[in-house]
């Protein structure tokens, strides 16, 4: 599962809403060119400059060397190789927006399906962590730009469609994303990512019984989804199904040894 889904547990139970309540932005999804406008916002951020100061001297030196190689690269293929290597350094150190930026440069200069998908996935990961409204908008736009290119040639990639759908949930037209998730579940009723995210969205809107139904279906087909198992217990608790909640949360002790998850479980059990 995504790192952002684990990190929320570090801050306690009350952050269930915070993690997935991304900043609301005004986006008219009916107008052409919106994605391009959102994507262009990326140019206003100097991600690598912001992050370089927090890197080790060794990492900074290597990045500067790679950027120098990019400037004198003889062709786009070589440029893409250096950009990809730069992105990897940022990614290894958790600088997600900088990593996405350079993966995007690699994809733009050597637009293979693999590089385009890598860029889209990198921007999606940066999107899930973005807290600033403008940055959230920019990351969402770039995610859609790259992943939709992959979907043009690989429309069966429901995993990528799910990510695109989630970028719409934080806009002024969240139903566009929800509709996409529903369409995915019509095509694949047991789709893990779509079931999980529909469950989360139901929790956000306070529809805990509906959330429980989504998570029941999720863990039925994907019992190894630890987050889904946990949120099923939370949904039972919040929908006043205390017996089911206790049984489900107690079972988490056998499913994971993650201290943050177990601490959250104990918190709920103590409240019963």
For the segment 96-126, what is each residue's pLDDT rounded down to a tens digit? 999 999 999 999 999 999 999 999 999 999 9
For the segment 226-235, what is each residue's pLDDT rounded down to a tens digit? 999 999 999 9
Determine contact, residues 138/123, Cβ cutoff 8 Å.
no
Determine contact, residues 222/192, Cβ cutoff 8 Å.
yes
How does the average pLDDT of the chain come out, rounded?
83
- Other C-beta atoms lying within 10 Å of the C-beta of residue 271: 10
Determine contact, residues 188/215, Cβ cutoff 8 Å.
no
Report residue 173's pLDDT band, with 50, 70 and 90 as the boundaries.
Answer: confident
Specify whether domain 32-154 bears CATH 1.25.40: yes
Which residue is listed with tokens 């994303």?
177
Q: Could you give the percent of the chain with pLDDT greater than 90?
A: 68
Whole-number pLDDT of residue 50 = 52
Report residue 53's pLDDT band, with 50, 70 and 90 as the boundaries.
Answer: low
Whole-number pLDDT of residue 48 = 52
Domain 1-27+173-272, CATH:
1.25.40.10
Per domain, the residue ranges of the chain are 1-27+173-272, 32-154
Whole-number pLDDT of residue 160 = 96
Determine contact, residues 166/197, Cβ cutoff 8 Å.
yes
């Amino acid at each position: 599962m995504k790192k952002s889904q684990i990190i929320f547990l570090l801050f306690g139970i009350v952050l269930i809403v915070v993690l997935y309540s991304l900043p609301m932005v005004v986006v008219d999804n009916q107008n052409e060119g919106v994605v391009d406008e959102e994507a262009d916002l990326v140019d206003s951020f100097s991600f690598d400059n912001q992050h370089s100061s927090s890197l080790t001297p060794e990492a900074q030196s290597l990045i500067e060397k790679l950027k120098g190689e990019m400037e004198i690269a003889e062709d786009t293929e070589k440029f893409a190789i250096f950009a990809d290597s730069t992105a990897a350094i940022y990614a290894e150190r958790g600088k997600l927006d900088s990593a996405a930026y350079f993966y995007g440069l690699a994809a733009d200069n050597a637009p293979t399906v693999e590089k385009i998908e890598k860029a889209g996935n990198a921007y999606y990961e940066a999107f899930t962590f973005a807290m600033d409204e403008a940055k959230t908008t920019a990351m969402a736009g770039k995610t859609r730009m790259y992943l939709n290119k992959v979907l043009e040639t690989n429309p069966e990639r429901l995993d990528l469609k799910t990510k695109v759908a989630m970028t719409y949930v934080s806009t002024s037209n969240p139903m566009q994303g929800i509709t996409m998730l529903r369409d995915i579940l019509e095509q694949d009723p047991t789709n893990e990512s779509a079931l999980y995210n529909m469950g989360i969205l139901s929790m956000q809107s306070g529809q805990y019984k509906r959330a429980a139904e989504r998570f029941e279906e999720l863990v039925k087909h994907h019992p190894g989804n630890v987050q889904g198992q946990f949120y099923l217990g939370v949904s039972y608790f919040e929908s006043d199904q205390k017996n089911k909640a206790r049984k489900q949360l107690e079972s988490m002790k056998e499913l994971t040894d993650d201290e943050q998850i177990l601490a959250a479980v104990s918190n709920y059990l103590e409240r019963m």
